[in-house]
């Protein structure tokens, strides 16, 4: 991690926790306009327009209704209803059945009640199960997102329970966590779908690698474990070093194009997404939507200085 990013990343992530800054950002039309690079809109109709465009370019899609850390059961129930509405819209596309499902939704368990002080884990499991039942009827996959390290044990416990009934449920493992190699080995052996990402939260050195090179090395080692296992690796990275390493791992483990996929974020490296799709690789684009875009947007700025530079330049141009 470069000196600027080592300094800037925790500062930006701290800004994401400041309620006053969030309210200010959400009131600025210029900010909202720039955010559309990463978040195409706030409604199901907005996200479906993006889904249609991505599917027309032969890319797969994962949609995420933004929100996390809900503080009451009513908010968690509202999130469930939003996902059921989204799944209704996705099912209306009537995609042809395929071994690799072209449509997926991503869930954050903290948006489903995981952190509620009373029975939070049970409530999140029940809410996730309701979404999985509807997704199964719609022919849509579900992947459970990762959040900060304090939630990892709870999240993976819920995923194990969901997979007992829905073996196609996937989850996210974050390569910067020192525990992730062991988690990759467990889930690779069970045949799970695993989205492997580097990680987007500001974690302490006691649990996470902090140096950029160490994170990349951990990612590649975790990916080797997943590729050698019986599951379905999802390579969630924009890093050219990682993307370039994939073909050799695929060959070494006798995998075909249907045995793994690349994943990238909406609005980032679109040309690379198209290149990989044109080479007949599966490429899934993570498309978030909703009114709770601020925290997601801040994490995108923190991940790469280039994103922050883009945002500040675009904001300055729109203020002229």
* Distance in angstroms (rounded) separating the CA atoms of residues 299 and 12: 8
Checking if the pLDDT of 179 tops 60, the result is yes
Q: Identify the pLDDT of residue 16.
A: 43
**Can you tell me the mean pLDDT for 197-226?**
95
Q: Identify the pLDDT of residue 312.
A: 56
Q: Where are the alpha helices (DSSP H) in 71-151?
A: 73-91, 120-138
Q: Where are the alpha helices (DSSP H) in 73-205?
A: 73-91, 120-138, 152-165, 180-189
Q: Identify the pLDDT of residue 67.
A: 87
* Distance in angstroms (rounded) separating the CA atoms of residues 173 and 1: 20
200: nearest Cα among 170, 175, 171, 222: 175
- Which are the catalytic amino acids? 145, 195
* Distance in angstroms (rounded) separating the CA atoms of residues 64 and 50: 12
Checking if the pLDDT of 159 tops 80, the result is yes
Most confident stretch, 5-9, 218-222, 266-270? 218-222
**Can you tell me the mean pLDDT for 54-59?**
97
Specify the pTM: 0.87
Checking if the pLDDT of 318 tops 90, the result is no
Q: Identify the pLDDT of residue 204.
A: 95
* Distance in angstroms (rounded) separating the CA atoms of residues 258 and 265: 20
Checking if the pLDDT of 18 tops 60, the result is no
Q: Identify the pLDDT of residue 32.
A: 63
Q: Identify the pLDDT of residue 298.
A: 72
Q: 244 phi and psi, to 5 degrees?
A: -70, -25
Label residues 27-39 b or e (16+ Cβ within 10 Å = b).
eeeebeebbebbb
In angstroms, the Cα distances linking 312 to 1, 4, 30, 238, 317 are 21, 16, 11, 21, 9
**Can you tell me the mean pLDDT for 274-298?**
90
The answer to whether residues 230 and 187 touch, using CB atoms and an 8 Å cutoff, is no
């Amino acid at each position: 991690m470069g000196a600027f990013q080592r300094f800037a990343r925790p500062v930006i992530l701290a800004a994401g926790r400041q309620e006053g800054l969030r309210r200010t950002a959400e009131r600025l039309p210029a900010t909202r306009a720039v955010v559309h690079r990463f978040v195409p809109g706030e409604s199901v109709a907005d996200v479906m327009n993006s889904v249609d465009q991505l599917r027309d370019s032969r890319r797969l899609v994962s949609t995420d209704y933004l929100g996390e850390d809900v503080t009451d059961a009513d908010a968690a129930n509202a999130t469930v209803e939003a996902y059921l509405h989204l799944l209704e819209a996705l099912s209306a596309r009537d995609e042809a059945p395929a071994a690799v499902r072209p449509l997926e939704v991503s869930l954050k368990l903290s948006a489903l009640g995981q952190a509620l002080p009373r029975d939070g884990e049970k409530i999140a499991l029940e809410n996730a199960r309701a979404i999985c039942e509807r997704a199964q009827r719609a022919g849509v996959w579900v992947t459970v997102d990762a959040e900060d390290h304090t939630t990892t044990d709870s999240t993976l416990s819920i995923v194990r329970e969901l997979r007992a009934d829905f073996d196609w449920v996937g989850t996210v493992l974050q390569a910067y966590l020192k525990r992730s190699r062991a988690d990759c080995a467990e889930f690779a052996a069970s045949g799970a779908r695993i989205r492997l990402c580097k990680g987007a939260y500001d974690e302490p050195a006691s649990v996470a690698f902090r140096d950029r090179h160490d994170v990349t090395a951990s990612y590649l080692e975790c990916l080797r474990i997943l590729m050698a296992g019986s599951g379905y690796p999802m390579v969630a990275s924009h890093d050219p070093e990682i993307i370039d390493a994939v073909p050799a791992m695929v060959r070494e483990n006798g995998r075909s194009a249907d045995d793994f996929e690349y994943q990238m974020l909406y609005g980032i490296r679109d040309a690379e997404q198209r290149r990989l799709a044109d080479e007949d690789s599966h490429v899934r684009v993570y498309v978030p939507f909703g009114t709770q875009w601020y925290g997601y947007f801040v994490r995108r700025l923190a991940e790469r200085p280039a994103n922050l530079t883009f945002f500040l330049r675009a904001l300055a141009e729109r203020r002229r």
